[in-house]
Chain A
Amino acid sequence: MTRHVCNVAAAAVLSAALVDAQAPAPGAGAQATKAEGTVYKNKAPVNKEILRVSLPKPKEADLSNGVHLIVLEDHRTPQVNFSMIIDGAGGYYDPPAVPGLAGFTASLMREGTATKSSEQISEQLDRLAASVSVGAGISSPSATVNGSGLTNNLDTVLALMADVLMNPSFPQAEIDRYKTRSRAGLMQQRTQPGFLASERLNKAVFGDHPLARVSATPAALDALTRDTLLEFHKTHYVPDRAVLAVTGDITVEQAKAKAEAAFGAWKKSGAALPAQTEAAPLSGPTISLVVRPNSVQTSLRIGTQSIERKNPDFFALTVGNRILGGASGRLFEHLREQKGYTYGANSGFASSRIPGSWTASTDVRSEVTDAALTDLIDEIRQMRETPVTEKELADAKRAIVGSFARLLESPDAILANYIDQHFYQLSADYWDTYPAKIEAVTAADIQRVAKKYWTPERLQIVAVGDLAKVEPALKKLGAVQIFDAEGKPIEK
Chain B
Amino acid sequence: MFRPIRAAVVTALFAVVSVSAADGPQVKFTDVKLKNGLRVIISEDHTAPTVSVAVNYFVGSADEKARRTGFAHLFEHMMFKGSENVGAGEHPALIFANGGTMNGTTNQDRTLYFETLPANQLELALFLEGDRMKSLDINRANLDNQKGAVQEERRLRVDNQPYGQTFEKTGEQAYDNPAYKHSIIGSMEDLSAASVDDVATFFKTYYAPNNAVLSIVGDVDTKKTMALVEKYFGGILRQPDPKRPDLAEAPHTAERRSTIEDPLARLPRLDIVWIGPPAQTTDSAALDVLSDVLSSGRSARINQVIVREKQLATSAALFASDSKGPGLITAFATVAPGKNPAEVEAAIYDEIEKVKKGPIADWEIEKAHNGARRNQAAQVTSTLSRAIQLGEYAMFFNDPNLINTRTEKILKVTAADVQRVAQKYFTKENRSVILTMPKAAAAKGER
* A residues whose Cβ falls under 8 Å from a Cβ of B: 1-22, 24, 29, 32, 35-41, 43-47, 49-51, 53, 76-79, 118-119, 122-123, 125-129, 131, 149-152, 177, 180-181, 183-185, 187-188, 190-193, 293-297, 326-328, 333, 336-337, 340-344, 363-365, 395-396, 398-406, 408-411
Contact = CB atoms under 8 A, between A and B. Distances in A.
Contact of A44 (B105, B127, B291, B336): B127
Contacts of B371: 1, 129
Which of A8, A37, A43, A333 has the most chain B CB atoms inside 10 A of its CB? A8
A409 B99 contact: no
Contacts of A192: 162
Nearest 10 CB-CB pairs, A to B?
A: A402-B99, A17-B148, A15-B149, A39-B87, A21-B147, A38-B89, A126-B297, A129-B370, A2-B319, A405-B118
Contacts of B47: 76, 408
B405 interface: no
A53 B49 contact: yes
A185 B328 CA distance: 27
Interface size classification for chain B: 35 or more
A50 B120 CA distance: 8
B92 A294 contact: no
A302 B348 CA distance: 45
12 contacts: A6-B107, A12-B73, A18-B148, A39-B90, A41-B87, A44-B86, A149-B374, A150-B373, A180-B311, A184-B314, A340-B145, A408-B47
A184 B267 contact: yes
B77 A44 contact: no
B119 A51 contact: yes
Interface stretch (B6-14, B240-248, B378-386, B426-434): B378-386
B370 A128 contact: yes
- The dominant DSSP class at the A interface is loop
B21 interface: yes
Interface in B1-55: 19, 21, 24-25, 47-50
Contacts, number: 341
Contacts of B146: 14-15
Interface string B142-169: 0011111101110111011010000000
B265 interface: yes
Interface in B37-91: 47-50, 73, 76-77, 80-82, 85-90
Interface stretch (B249-257, B298-306, B351-359): B298-306
Given A20-B144, A22-B192, A405 B97 contact: no
B375 A7 contact: no
A39 B367 contact: no
Contact of A9 (B96, B105, B151, B383): B105
Contact of A181 (B314, B320, B380): B314
Contacts of B298: 118, 122, 126
Interface stretch (B183-191, B394-402, B417-425): B183-191
A22 B187 CA distance: 12
B123 interface: yes
Given A51-B120, A125-B297, A184-B337, A13 B103 contact: yes
B156 A297 contact: yes
B374 A7 contact: no
B145 A15 contact: yes
Contacts of A78: 19, 21, 24, 377
B263 interface: yes
Given A297-B155, A343-B156, A76 B380 contact: yes
Given A37-B89, A78-B377, A119 B98 contact: no
Contacts of A76: 25, 47, 380-381
B192 A402 contact: no
B88 A38 contact: yes
B346 interface: no
Contacts of B334: 184, 188
Contacts of A151: 21
Contacts of B328: 4
Interface in B203-250: none
A486 to B, nearest CB: 11
A477 B61 CA distance: 45
B148 A19 contact: yes
A39 B88 CA distance: 5
A44 B367 contact: no
A413 to B, nearest CB: 10
B366 interface: yes
A49 B160 contact: no
B192 A21 contact: yes
A191 B370 contact: no
B271 interface: no
B265 A409 contact: no
Given A5-B107, A191-B266, 19 more contacts: A1-B292, A2-B291, A2-B296, A3-B321, A9-B73, A13-B80, A20-B144, A21-B192, A22-B193, A40-B87, A77-B377, A150-B377, A188-B314, A328-B89, A333-B89, A340-B149, A343-B152, A399-B99, A406-B116
